[in-house]
């Protein structure tokens, strides 16, 4: 229940805030509390009639995602996204870091890199050491993976059911002697951006989904023969898993569970 110290308490105790009230009230209440966009909890405002979800602060740090989930679950009729990259449908450093379970080391760099995303593609490079790397101010550096290390690569027949995807993931992790807590991301081909079975399964498991572009899939080596060759791809499950893995090593080669093809890499 709202009271005069509600936002002060929420900022110190909550990882995110959804406020059911007027935007002006929220802006005035949180203004004195804002300190660091990387540390402040994301704040989303929802109007009394539940028409709109409006990220106020922390758009790249969770607020846009919260607004999107409120829309997907029928809580609001429209998420109002104003951050430039997400409004334009292009990536940003913060979301990529979250997807890969990494931290941004040089945070000031994100301004220039995100601005570049608006006009052109930005290369994502992974270096293995030992090395010494010198970077300019417009290069974002992500830390090593925080804890989670497995990538699940998934291919599936069209209109696959969510439960079939969940069952396949469970079977694959069991074979790999791992659990969903070890997984940092689920990866699939760019062709599957509208495949609700995969998307809904990932949402239920609280894992991000990465849609891997054709060029990256086909640049991946050491994958099994695949029927995806007819689509111009070297494969789906294995190359998608390897593309986002740290060691580029399969812990579970391609398996077929019903209509789902699955591979796990680390």
> Are residues 165 and 200 located together in one domain of the fold?
yes
Are the C-beta atoms of 209 and 202 separated by less than 8 Å?
Answer: yes
Q: Is 60 exceeded by the pLDDT of residue 146?
A: no
List residues bridging with 196 in a β-sheet. Answer: none
Are 185 and 217 part of one and the same domain? Answer: yes
- 134 is in which domain, residue-wise? 102-146
Q: What's residue 58's pLDDT?
A: 93
Residues 197-236: pLDDT tens digits? Answer: 999 999 999 898 999 988 889 887 666 666 666 666 878 9
Model confidence over 58-86: pLDDT tens digits? 999 889 989 999 998 899 999 999 999 98
In a shared domain, residues 171 and 77: no
Looking at the structure, do residues 158 and 106 belong to the same domain, yes or no? no
Question: Are residues 136 and 236 located together in one domain of the fold?
Answer: no
Same domain for 188 and 259, yes or no, is: yes
Residue count of the chain:
266
Q: Is residue 90 part of a domain?
A: no
One domain for residues 21 and 46: yes
Instruction: List 156's β-bridge partners, or say none.
Output: 260
Write down the pLDDT at residue 225: 65
Domain end call among 146, 173, 198: 146
Judge residue 264's burial from the number of C-beta atoms within 10 Å of its C-beta, 0-12 exposed, 13-18 middle, 19 or more buried: buried
For residue 147, pLDDT over 70 is answered with no
Q: Does residue 164 sit in the same domain as residue 218?
A: yes
Highest mean pLDDT among 123-127, 230-234, 258-262: 258-262
pTM: 0.56
The residue from 146, 165, 199 where one domain ends is 146
Q: Are residues 178 and 123 in the same domain?
A: no
Instruction: Decide if 88 is inside a domain.
Output: no
Residue 193 lies in a domain: yes
pLDDT-derived band at 263, boundaries 50, 70, 90? very high
Inside any domain, residue 89: no
Strand partners, 262: 154, 255
Reported as a pLDDT band with limits 50, 70 and 90, residue 55 is very high
Residue 87 belongs to a domain: no
Are residues 163 and 110 both part of a single domain?
no
pLDDT at position 234 is 79
Per-residue pLDDT at 46 exceeds 90: yes
Sign of CA dihedral 164, 167, 256, 200: positive
Residue range 127-143: average pLDDT? 88
What's the per-residue H, E or C state across the chain? Answer: CCCCCHHHHHHHHCCCEEEECCHHHHHHHHHHHCCCCCCCCCEEEECCCCCEEEEEECHHHCHHHHHHHHHHCCCCCEECCCCHHHHCCCCCHHHHHHHCCCCECCHHHHHHHHHHHCCCCCCCCCCCCCCCCCCCCCCCCECCCCCCCEEEEEEECCCCCHHHHHHHHHHHHHHCCCCHHHEEEEEEEHHHCCCHHHHHHHHHHCCCEEEECHHHHHCCCCCCCCHHHHHCCCCCHHHHHHHCCCCCCEEEEEEEECCEEEEEEC
Same domain as 210, residue 239: yes
Q: Are residues 167 and 205 in the same domain?
A: yes
Assigned domain for 69 exists: yes
Under 8 Å between Cβ of 156 and 130: no
Q: What is the mean pLDDT of the segment spanning 101-122? A: 89
**93 in a structural domain:** no
Nearest alpha-carbon partner for 56 in 17, 9, 7, 14: 17
CATH number of the domain at 74, please.
3.40.50.11220
| 97 domain-assigned | no
Overall number of domains in the chain: 3
């Amino acid at each position: 229940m709202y009271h005069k110290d509600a936002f002060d308490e929420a900022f110190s105790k909550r990882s995110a805030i959804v406020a059911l009230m007027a935007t002006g009230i929220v802006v005035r209440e949180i203004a004195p509390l804002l300190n660091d966009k990387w540390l402040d909890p994301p704040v989303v405002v929802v109007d009394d009639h539940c028409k709109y979800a409006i990220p106020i602060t922390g758009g790249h740090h969770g607020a846009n995602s919260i607004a999107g989930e409120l829309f997907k679950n029928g809580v609001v009729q429209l998420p109002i996204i104003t951050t430039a990259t997400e409004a334009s449908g292009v990536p940003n450093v913060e979301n990529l870091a979250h997807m890969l379970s990494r931290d941004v080391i040089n945070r000031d760099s994100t301004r220039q890199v995100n601005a570049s995303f608006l006009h052109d593609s930005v290369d994502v490079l992974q270096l293995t050491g030992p090395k010494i790397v010198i970077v300019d101010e417009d290069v974002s550096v992500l830390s090593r993976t925080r804890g989670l290390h497995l990538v699940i690569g998934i291919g599936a027949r069209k209109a696959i059911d969510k439960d079939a995807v969940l069952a396949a993931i469970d079977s694959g992790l069991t074979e790999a002697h791992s659990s969903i807590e070890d997984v940092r991301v689920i990866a699939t081909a760019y062709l599957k951006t509208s495949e609700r079975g995969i998307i809904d399964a990932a949402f239920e498991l609280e894992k991000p989904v990465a849609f891997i572009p054709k060029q990256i899939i086909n640049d991946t080596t050491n994958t099994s023969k695949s029927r995806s060759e007819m689509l111009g791809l070297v494969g789906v499950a294995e190359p998608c898993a390897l593309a986002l893995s740290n060691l580029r090593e399969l812990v579970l080669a391609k398996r077929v569970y019903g209509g789902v093809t699955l591979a796990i890499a680390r």
